[in-house]
Structure 1
Amino acid sequence: MDYDELVALRRHHAAWKLLRADNAALMLSFFNKVFVEQGVRSIAGVELADRLDDELFALNERLGQGAFPKSAKAYLDDWSGPQSGWLRKYYPADSDEPHYDATPAVEKAIAWIRSLQARSFIGTESRLNTIFDLLRQMTFGAETDPEARLEELKRRRLEIDEEIARAEVGDVDVLDSSGLRDRYQQLTATAHELLADFREVEANFRDLDRELRRKIAVWDGSKGELLDEILTSRESIAESDQGRSFQAFYGFLLSHRRQDEFKKLLAQAEAMGAIGEPDPRMRRIPRDWLDAAERTQATVRQLSEQLRRFLDDRAWSEDRRVMELMSGIEARAVMLRDMPGVDLVLEIDAAAPAITLPMERPLYAPVTRTPIDSTDIHVGDEEFAADALFEAVYVDPARLVETVRRALDLQAQVSLADLVRQNPLEQGLAELVAYLALSGDGFTVVFDDSRREEITWMGADGVQHVVQAPVAAFARTISGATWALDKEEQS
């Protein structure tokens, strides 16, 4: 770090500006209580304002009414403004109420303030062991020589065998109280640092999301180029060192076996008398890790959602542009249609190409052949009554069509009632239903369902039958137009 870099950090870094602020003590104590000690990752604006109002009331009672003259809402607006950057104010997808969350700068400032506090015990042994363990993991994990790996595994096995031999004779190395306190101190510090780092990881993903939104808003090239740029950026997140490390941590954290093992080991460690008073924040640290990791994953999912909305908006705008072009072409063609010397006739094979994808074709289905067994044939009953087979009535529609055409040769329209009076029904109700369902070239059937008319005929048994039917007429079709019901019929 040189002089100019430090001057720029002092002027622009949010954490440094927080430490230089007039109300730094109020902000650091309040942020630490809400966002660090209580592990809050997102809080509604009304609830946060109520908590701050209680804090301001207590401080004004103790320090005087003029110590903090502003309202809680005014302080929150100042702390979340772009010139400050200490609180992130946003609206969740399913809420119209603003929510707040601390920024990574707040975590950095609080961590630095905590480092200033005097500590009665500073452990060094566990951190030295951690350094050696990390170095062994790095060198052994990067080793590609099978012989070297085998030698390292044999060395580990020898150490384990020696420890087993000592344990069998009762020689067991037990950590003393200072060693336990040393390792527990490093455990809590690492756990809290990991939780604080999630805010910075989430902030990095939000910065990338903001950059993608900016590119989409000002992009003037083709859609394909923009998609390639966005997808490349999306893949760079997952393939970056930070992305791979986060995915590995998230997969490790989602393992139920690992969670149960962590909770069990933590409970056993905190039950040791040498630890003293355990850190209360460690009891909820697995849940805080899961919550922070899920919020980070949700930020990454917003990138895909933003991409989907962009595709939908671009597709809609392109469809609208195509329709505008088509309308302009149609208007121009109508204007030039009647102009002499302009030939607008164009023939095409089809309005659209016929596309049949290979997977749309059905697979071959073999025909199931039903075998016919004619070996056991029995003689039927000679006394079977077959009268029902001869009672079925068949109405010839060709005869009815010819009747309608003869009637329409004399007039443009004829009602069904008049047609039945001129040509009495020979097959009763079946013939009447056939008239209603009749269709043919040169005429059509026109109905008026709002009115009814009586149609009568004499049956074969000499009994008169009466049916209420909708007003219907057969109308002649001329040049694609159909006659409507005559006014006389409508009256």
Structure 2
Amino acid sequence: MDLDELDRLWERHPAWRVLRAHNAPLILSFLGRQFIDDNRGAVPLGALVSALDDELFAIHRVSPERYAQGAAAYIDDWSDPKAGLLRRFYPAGSEEVHVEATPALEKAYRWVEGLRTRSFVGTESRLQTLVDLLRQIVHGSETDPAERIAELERRRDRVERELAEAREGRFAVLDDTALRERYQQFASTARELLGDFREVEDNFRALDRSAREKIAGWEGGKGALLEELVTSRTDIASSDQGRSFQAFYDFLLSEGRQDELSDLLDAVQGMPQLHGDRPHEGRRIRRVHYDWADAAERTQQTVRGLSEQLRRFLDDQVWVENRRVLELVRAVEASALAARDQPPIDLGLQVDEPGLPIALVFERPLYDPQPDVVVDSMPAPQDALELELDGLFAQHFVDSARLAGNIRAVVPPRATVALDEIVALYPIEEGVAEILGYLSLGDDDLAVAVVDDAGEMTLDYIDAGGTPRRVRMPQVTVTRR
């Protein structure tokens, strides 16, 4: 980080600004306890002012001159957009102002919390975590079946050795130091995850606010706006942040995984060597998965707000269009009533024919029911033996997984390659059906699209009879996300 960037952060970032405030201890102690320690979302403004008033009363009993302003004045200062500590808004279905903490407050609070002296700093468990992450990165991205099988066999051998040793009564048990170290790392990561949810929610809220601004200032057609809003909603879901959050949310919604997590937390809380003189932290960790679920639901509600904006926009547009139709109908009715009393002189209708054709009802032909038609589609027994079955047995299947594997082997992530370059490395084996298979691929990380109709590409292959063939088609590119 250079000097100019640090100057900008020092002047503008709310987290750094709160650390420079003269009442920073009051801000972090009160707001940190109200929102961060208790994992609380939005609260009514009046309830927060009342809680701060009680806090100031307790402080003034010891130090009457400290923090001389009133509770309402402090909350107004902290919720000012320039301060960036609290966000004021009206939730749906409520007429009372609510406030909630911002990611800047979370960052400042966590940074100050990290300044406390720790009597025990574990390093071995974090090293083990880093090694496990490296294993997941390397082995999880392996595309060679032989390498994947070899890794799974190594794991199986290791597990079988541990089973054999356990049957003989020989197995390693973590000592108290290792248990405390891993528990400390788990508690720290669990608290950081709650802070990450607040930041993800703020990022999603910024996208939602952008959609509201588009709706408020839109002057074009309804279809163009809907296309833009749906694209924004898709971008939220398909982004790395959105996909990671959805995977976490699906994990929380899994009943089996929730039961497993609850059983593990219950077992951890039953270990007296982990909590020591901080039993309140253990009680918070015992319910941390419920805190995760609450934070994830608040974030999910922010994402659902964009869909709500789409529905409200469509309802408003339908109401406006219906109102315009009624206005036109009433204008036509008023014009008709005015023309009935005083018809225009030049109002009339000219007919080229001297008379109008008249068709009487009895001149129409009577209903003539048709006999039922019996269709016998079964072939004669002697004909069944003469059917040609070569075409049926000559059908073949194009493996789309193989085609996707060819693309992933050639195209690196976040890159685009022309289809003819892939075919040059992996020649076509199934003829036109294989080319169509490439065009129909639609995996999450692959996108096949016609880039330029004016351009042209040539694909060569050899058919089943051994005859060379050539296909000319528009330029096609393959993008890997």
TM (normalized to structure 1)?
Answer: 0.67
Instruction: Tell me: CA distance 1:142–1:344, structure 2 relative to 1, closer, same or farther (3 Å).
Output: farther
Kindly state the Cα deviation for residue 266 of structure 1 after the two structures are TM-superposed.
1.6
Give the distance between the partners of 2:332 and 2:258, measured in 1 at CA: 67
Instruction: Tell me: CA distance 1:166–1:74, structure 2 relative to 1, closer, same or farther (3 Å).
Output: same
Give the distance between the partners of 2:318 and 2:350, measured in 1 at CA: 32
Kindly state the Cα deviation for residue 227 of structure 1 after the two structures are TM-superposed.
0.2
Instruction: State the match for 2:91 in structure 1.
Output: 92
Instruction: Tell me: CA distance 1:315–1:276, structure 2 relative to 1, closer, same or farther (3 Å).
Output: closer
Instruction: State the match for 1:29 in structure 2.
Output: 29
AA partner of residue 223 (structure 1): K
AA partner of residue 69 (structure 1): A
Q: In structure 2, which of residues 299, 307, 312 is the aligned counterpart of residue 309 of structure 1?
A: 312
Instruction: State the match for 2:323 in structure 1.
Output: 320
SS of 2:287 mapped into structure 1: helix
Give the distance between the partners of 1:8 and 1:188, measured in 2 at CA: 33
SS of 1:116 mapped into structure 2: coil
AA partner of residue 26 (structure 1): L
Instruction: State the match for 1:8 in structure 2.
Output: 8
Give the distance between the partners of 2:168 and 2:76, measured in 1 at CA: 68
Give the distance between the partners of 2:348 and 2:322, measured in 1 at CA: 29
Give the distance between the partners of 1:234 and 1:345, measured in 2 at CA: 57
AA partner of residue 124 (structure 1): T
Runs of at least 5 residues in structure 1 that lack an aligned partner in the other structure: 347-491
Instruction: State the match for 2:286 in structure 1.
Output: 283
Give the distance between the partners of 1:107 and 1:219, measured in 2 at CA: 35
- List per-residue Cα deviations over 1:192-221 (Å, max 9, x = no partner): 011111111111111111110000000111
- List per-residue Cα deviations over 1:97-142 (Å, max 9, x = no partner): 2222111111100110011111111111111111111111111111
Give the distance between the partners of 1:298 and 1:39, measured in 2 at CA: 16
Kindly state the Cα deviation for residue 329 of structure 1 after the two structures are TM-superposed.
5.5
Instruction: Tell me: CA distance 1:340–1:75, structure 2 relative to 1, closer, same or farther (3 Å).
Output: same
AA partner of residue 145 (structure 1): D
Instruction: State the match for 1:473 in structure 2.
Output: none
Instruction: State the match for 2:137 in structure 1.
Output: 138
Give the distance between the partners of 1:286 and 1:340, measured in 2 at CA: 83
Kindly state the Cα deviation for residue 61 of structure 1 after the two structures are TM-superposed.
2.1
Give the distance between the partners of 1:261 and 1:267, measured in 2 at CA: 10
Instruction: Tell me: CA distance 1:342–1:6, structure 2 relative to 1, closer, same or farther (3 Å).
Output: farther
Instruction: Please tell me whether residue 18 in structure 1 is matched to residue 18 in structure 2.
Output: yes
Give the distance between the partners of 1:2 and 1:324, measured in 2 at CA: 63
Instruction: Please tell me whether residue 340 in structure 1 is matched to residue 345 in structure 2.
Output: yes
Instruction: State the match for 1:240 in structure 2.
Output: 239
Give the distance between the partners of 1:28 and 1:85, measured in 2 at CA: 14
AA partner of residue 320 (structure 1): R
SS of 2:87 mapped into structure 1: strand
Give the distance between the partners of 2:51 and 2:260, measured in 1 at CA: 36
Q: In structure 2, which of residues 296, 300, 310 is the aligned counterpart of residue 297 of structure 1?
A: 300
Give the distance between the partners of 1:273 and 1:26, measured in 2 at CA: 34
SS of 2:94 mapped into structure 1: coil
Give the distance between the partners of 1:68 and 1:168, measured in 2 at CA: 66
SS of 2:100 mapped into structure 1: strand
Kindly state the Cα deviation for residue 342 of structure 1 after the two structures are TM-superposed.
4.9
SS of 2:99 mapped into structure 1: strand
AA partner of residue 291 (structure 2): D
Kindly state the Cα deviation for residue 308 of structure 1 after the two structures are TM-superposed.
1.0
Greater mean alpha carbon deviation, residues 35-44 or residues 18-27: 35-44
Matches within 5 A, 1:17-166: 17-64=17-64, 66-166=65-165
AA partner of residue 257 (structure 2): R
Kindly state the Cα deviation for residue 160 of structure 1 after the two structures are TM-superposed.
0.8
Give the distance between the partners of 1:223 and 1:71, measured in 2 at CA: 49
Give the distance between the partners of 1:344 and 1:23, measured in 2 at CA: 87
Kindly state the Cα deviation for residue 327 of structure 1 after the two structures are TM-superposed.
4.6
Query: Are the aligned partners of 2:16 and 2:108 in contact in 1 as well (CA < 8 Å)?
Result: yes
Kindly state the Cα deviation for residue 161 of structure 1 after the two structures are TM-superposed.
1.2
Give the distance between the partners of 2:245 and 2:60, measured in 1 at CA: 44
AA partner of residue 345 (structure 2): P
Instruction: Tell me: CA distance 1:339–1:273, structure 2 relative to 1, closer, same or farther (3 Å).
Output: closer
- List per-residue Cα deviations over 1:409-429 (Å, max 9, x = no partner): xxxxxxxxxxxxxxxxxxxxx
Give the distance between the partners of 2:348 and 2:66, measured in 1 at CA: 88
Give the distance between the partners of 2:267 and 2:287, measured in 1 at CA: 15
- List per-residue Cα deviations over 1:418-474 (Å, max 9, x = no partner): xxxxxxxxxxxxxxxxxxxxxxxxxxxxxxxxxxxxxxxxxxxxxxxxxxxxxxxxx
Give the distance between the partners of 2:349 and 2:28, measured in 1 at CA: 78
Give the distance between the partners of 1:273 and 1:23, measured in 2 at CA: 38
Give the distance between the partners of 1:236 and 1:158, measured in 2 at CA: 44
Give the distance between the partners of 2:200 and 2:119, measured in 1 at CA: 32
Instruction: State the match for 2:391 in structure 1.
Output: none
AA partner of residue 76 (structure 2): D
SS of 1:6 mapped into structure 2: helix
Greater mean alpha carbon deviation, residues 217-226 or residues 311-320: 311-320
Q: How many residues align?
A: 345
Kindly state the Cα deviation for residue 344 of structure 1 after the two structures are TM-superposed.
7.1
Kindly state the Cα deviation for residue 53 of structure 1 after the two structures are TM-superposed.
0.5
Instruction: State the match for 1:201 in structure 2.
Output: 200
Kindly state the Cα deviation for residue 73 of structure 1 after the two structures are TM-superposed.
1.5
AA partner of residue 199 (structure 1): R
Give the distance between the partners of 1:150 and 1:302, measured in 2 at CA: 45
Kindly state the Cα deviation for residue 49 of structure 1 after the two structures are TM-superposed.
1.4
Kindly state the Cα deviation for residue 321 of structure 1 after the two structures are TM-superposed.
2.5
Higher Cα Rg, which structure:
1
SS of 1:313 mapped into structure 2: helix
Give the distance between the partners of 2:90 and 2:177, measured in 1 at CA: 48
Percent identity of paired positions between Structure 1 and Structure 2: 54
CA RMSD, Structure 1 to Structure 2 (Å): 2.1
Matches within 5 A, 1:337-416: 338-343=343-348
Kindly state the Cα deviation for residue 318 of structure 1 after the two structures are TM-superposed.
1.9
Greater mean alpha carbon deviation, residues 331-340 or residues 241-250: 331-340
SS of 2:92 mapped into structure 1: coil
